Structure 1
Amino acid sequence: MKNAFILVVLCCLCACSKQPEVLEFSLNELRPGGSATLASINTRTFIHPSGNLSIDDELEFWDGLSFFRDPWVASPAITVDRDGLGPLYNARSCKACHSRGGRGRMAAEGVSSPMALLFRLGHGEKQLADTTYGAQLQTFAVLTPTNNPKLDAEGQINLQYEMIEGQFDDGAPYTLRKPHYRLVNLSQGPLAATTQLSPRYAPAIYGMGLLDAIDSADLFALEDEYDADQNGISARYNRVPNVLTGQLELGRFGFKGLHPNLNQQIASAFINDIGITNPYFPKETCQPTQSACLLEAKRVHGEQSPEIPMKLLRTTEFMSAHIAVQPTRKLNSPQAQQGRTLFYQLGCQGCHQPSFVTRNDYELPELAGQIIWPYSDLALHDMGEGLADGKVEYRATGREWRTAPLWGIGLQPRIQGYQGFLHDGRARTISEAILWHGGEAKASQQGFVALPAHERAALLFFLEQI
């Protein structure tokens, strides 16, 4: 490994009889983004520049924010650098999905065209798309000229929840909600019979540059695909193509590790979510059978260059990489420290790797060489049948998900006025999210269920502070 990082190799409760070791508390945990951490807590928005940016770099950050915040419009338009929307799309801006830099508002039950809840489509190991609708269902379409064929949105979602009752070992009740999705008003007929439908609830976007700056060697050092240490955890990483080089690389972004770096993740969101062609993905998402979409794409820009050029894309990437992580809150309090101890004793750190040191040679110097505390190994883990979507993405199976970072999750209700967890937003609280854990995390979940009420409260309090 090129960088030293804080690595805790601990036994799950189901695999070892001895109590797992608790990592000694360090004051640098109070600033989870290192010197790039925001100077003080701000509950208005998650979108703030890294705490160590120069004045000139802050200007570039705010310039990039305009491409995140402002709506795109259909071409042709008099709006400079903001046209190119669609022809098919899910939202008109990044902000529409990532409200205040956090998670978007979840769709309500019933039929809707959600923006923050996307649906990936595909089947088989390499079939990352449906043969008719492509890789992602797009629920909006631009208006076409009256003399051209009308372009319809691809469809809508009918969401219904099934309520599941349960109780902790001390008798306290809980209720989980299990979502059921059905596609309706499909404009091109049914999906292929083998296509899997995978919901993806837009994630928070702060700290992503720091995650990008983690050395791949440090991540690969955590890989234990066949559970050689017999701790019940089989961390493994997706291998996905870098679309600019064609090389397979470690997948670290996306719910199943679909993209190898932050820049490609952003470019993918532009093309799939907003319909903005770019140097990474220069072709519209129209499928061969979608004649109205193909005709509209040809009418608008024919063979012209991507709708967002590399220069403006780089500005957006710079801003996205430097969205600051907020400092922890009451992490020094006795209740938080008790919860921290329980976090380790339950084996949660087996997937939610607490800390790394970012690469010293990372291309953005303010993010290089930082001790960070994201609480994620960015690896794929089998989360059990309860969270399975059945969709394969390269090496990621239908039961596997990339470990979600935990930093800042306690600020969701304070900044956004609502909260949602897991890949599809089904969990309304952190407690519900833990209760849905299965597969490799089942032992930790069972340990949580067995805790008395005051210890459950302490663990949740700790998670709300990091």
Structure 2
Amino acid sequence: NKPAKNCHIKDGRGHPPEAGDSNAVSMLVRLSIPDDPAYADLIKRNGVLPEPVYGGQLQDMSNPGVAPEGKVRVEYDALTVEFRDGTSVELRQPTLRITQLGYGPMHPDTHISARVAPPMIGLGLLEAIADDAILANADPDDKNADGISGRPNWVWDDAQQKVVMGRFGWKAGQPNLNQQNVHAFSGDMGLTTSLRPFDDCTPAQTDCLAAPNGNGPDGEPEVSDNILRLVEFYTRNLGVPARRKVDDPQVLAGKNLFFQAGCQQCHTPAFKTRSDAAEPELANQEIRPYSDLLLHDMGEGLADNRTEFQATGSEW
């Protein structure tokens, strides 16, 4: 397995691979196929229908004796975007390919979604925002006609065994930090937990199924509940760095433009955390996340065309 620090570099953001580089160490690739009513219960709990041969996430690394599922290649095209004032900028438009498939072809309608590891700071504060405070900013039908229609994702909570509001992951597909960590242990590192005591091996991957999985003789998972609690505490309590250059004229000019453009209508500047937060140091804090923690349709240019629970292929 690969350690979390390789993805979240210094607890910060990861990066996509360079052009032609098959080392996607801080980027993962999610896989799914179109929904099928025959698997309604699986989709309800998983948010997607995994690719039948390769599962829900491509494993481009493997243990000895087990073939990796494939390799990731990214190529970039230059994309020039011109603004109304005549200014132009050049962006990189990625094209993702999966090569060297280890277990035969994928389903012909496989949806592929690349996800770069996000930063780890301030996550406990985001978890401590009340659901009602987030829902107060939701406007899925744009009833106030401001052109913004943020909405929550409703996802499955593995521990509570019910549908709750999502808030973590690029499509808000996880309800809390513990479940986010559990799925990272499983999908990113190949480690079992009490909430996910199984390996991500499909029936086609016989070598994977036959390999030792690291569970104890009585079925104890590789990651104990005590370790899960410690990791949860760590991910909850990584502090947010102090704002830099608070008096810099250029920074202040940017702040004014931010509000003049109406960016704050999606990037909500401030919240107050709940009084009953999981850790006392996270309670009753005035925070400035500049996020409403809602899904927004970002258009075809940023779409992965892959649903996740109630999030559409163009919502993030």
Same fold (TM over 0.5): yes
Task: Indicate yes or no: 2:302 matched with 1:387.
Answer: yes
CA contact (8 A) 2:26 2:116 kept: yes
Give 3-state SS (helix, strand or coil) of 2:296's partner: strand
Aligned residues: 305
CA contact (8 A) 2:7 2:25 kept: yes
Other-structure match for 1:141: 62
Give 3-state SS (helix, strand or coil) of 1:95's partner: helix
Q: Of 91, 99, 106, which aligns to 2:16?
A: 106
Q: CA deviation at 1:128?
A: 3.5
Other-structure match for 2:199: 284
Other-structure match for 2:155: 240
Normalized per residue, the structure richer in helix is 1
Other-structure match for 2:50: 129
AA partner of residue 99 (structure 2): V
Q: Distance in 1 between matches of 2:305 and 2:99?
A: 20
Q: Distance in 2 between matches of 1:169 and 1:302?
A: 66
Alignment of 1:24-173 (within 5 A): 85=1, 92-125=2-35, 126=43, 127-144=48-65, 151-173=66-88
CA contact (8 A) 2:15 2:116 kept: no
Q: CA deviation at 1:131?
A: 0.9
Other-structure match for 2:223: 308
**RMSD over aligned Cα atoms:** 1.5
Q: CA deviation at 1:167?
A: 3.0
Q: CA deviation at 1:339?
A: 1.6
Q: Distance in 2 between matches of 1:313 and 1:361?
A: 21
Task: Indicate yes or no: 2:210 matched with 1:210.
Answer: no
Alignment of 1:250-261 (within 5 A): 250-261=165-176
Alignment of 1:422-437 (within 5 A): none
Query: Kindly tell me: are residues 236 and 300 of structure 1, through their superposed partners in 2, closer, same or farther at Cα, counting changes over 3 Å?
Result: closer
Alignment of 1:172-251 (within 5 A): 172-251=87-166
Give 3-state SS (helix, strand or coil) of 1:271's partner: helix
Give 3-state SS (helix, strand or coil) of 2:114's partner: strand
Residue-by-residue CA offset, 1:197-229 (whole Å, 9 max, x unaligned)? 000001111100100000011111111111111
Q: Distance in 2 between matches of 1:163 and 1:298?
A: 44
With normalisation by structure 2, the TM-score equals: 0.93
Q: CA deviation at 1:113?
A: 3.3
Q: CA deviation at 1:311?
A: 0.6
Task: Indicate yes or no: 2:277 matched with 1:367.
Answer: no
Query: Kindly tell me: are residues 105 and 400 of structure 1, through their superposed partners in 2, closer, same or farther at Cα, counting changes over 3 Å?
Result: closer
Residue-by-residue CA offset, 1:175-198 (whole Å, 9 max, x unaligned)? 111000111000011211111000
CA contact (8 A) 1:128 1:393 kept: no
CA contact (8 A) 2:156 2:175 kept: yes
Q: CA deviation at 1:296?
A: 0.3
CA contact (8 A) 2:215 2:221 kept: no
Q: Distance in 2 between matches of 1:368 and 1:273?
A: 31
Query: Kindly tell me: are residues 111 and 185 of structure 1, through their superposed partners in 2, closer, same or farther at Cα, counting changes over 3 Å?
Result: farther
With normalisation by structure 1, the TM-score equals: 0.63
Q: What fraction of aligned residue pairs are identical, expressed as a percent?
A: 41
Q: CA deviation at 1:301?
A: 5.3
AA partner of residue 183 (structure 2): S
Q: Distance in 1 between matches of 2:213 and 2:284?
A: 47
Structure with more contact order per residue of length (Cα contacts < 8 Å, sep ≥ 6): 1
AA partner of residue 244 (structure 1): A
Q: Which runs of 5+ in 1 are unaligned?
A: 1-84, 86-91, 145-150, 402-466
Give 3-state SS (helix, strand or coil) of 2:227's partner: helix
Residue-by-residue CA offset, 1:229-254 (whole Å, 9 max, x unaligned)? 11111110110011011111101000
Q: Which runs of 5+ in 2 are unaligned?
A: 36-42
Give 3-state SS (helix, strand or coil) of 1:178's partner: strand
Q: Distance in 2 between matches of 1:195 and 1:234?
A: 28
Q: CA deviation at 1:279?
A: 1.6
Q: CA deviation at 1:171?
A: 3.1
Q: Distance in 2 between matches of 1:236 and 1:299?
A: 40
Q: Distance in 2 between matches of 1:143 and 1:245?
A: 37
AA partner of residue 60 (structure 2): T
Q: Distance in 2 between matches of 1:366 and 1:240?
A: 27
Residue-by-residue CA offset, 1:259-290 (whole Å, 9 max, x unaligned)? 00011101110111001101221111111221
AA partner of residue 188 (structure 1): Y
Q: Distance in 1 between matches of 2:237 and 2:60?
A: 30
Q: CA deviation at 1:373?
A: 0.3
Q: CA deviation at 1:306?
A: 0.7
Q: CA deviation at 1:302?
A: 6.8
Q: Distance in 1 between matches of 2:27 and 2:292?
A: 24
CA contact (8 A) 2:199 2:213 kept: no
Give 3-state SS (helix, strand or coil) of 2:211's partner: helix
Residue-by-residue CA offset, 1:101-149 (whole Å, 9 max, x unaligned)? 11124311114031111101113353341111111001111013xxxxx
Q: Distance in 1 between matches of 2:201 and 2:189?
A: 13
Q: Distance in 2 between matches of 1:300 and 1:265?
A: 21
CA contact (8 A) 2:214 2:221 kept: no
AA partner of residue 54 (structure 2): Y
AA partner of residue 93 (structure 1): P
AA partner of residue 57 (structure 2): Q
Other-structure match for 2:244: 329
Q: CA deviation at 1:354?
A: 0.8
Residue-by-residue CA offset, 1:273-318 (whole Å, 9 max, x unaligned)? 0011012211111112211100004687576211010011101110
AA partner of residue 101 (structure 1): D
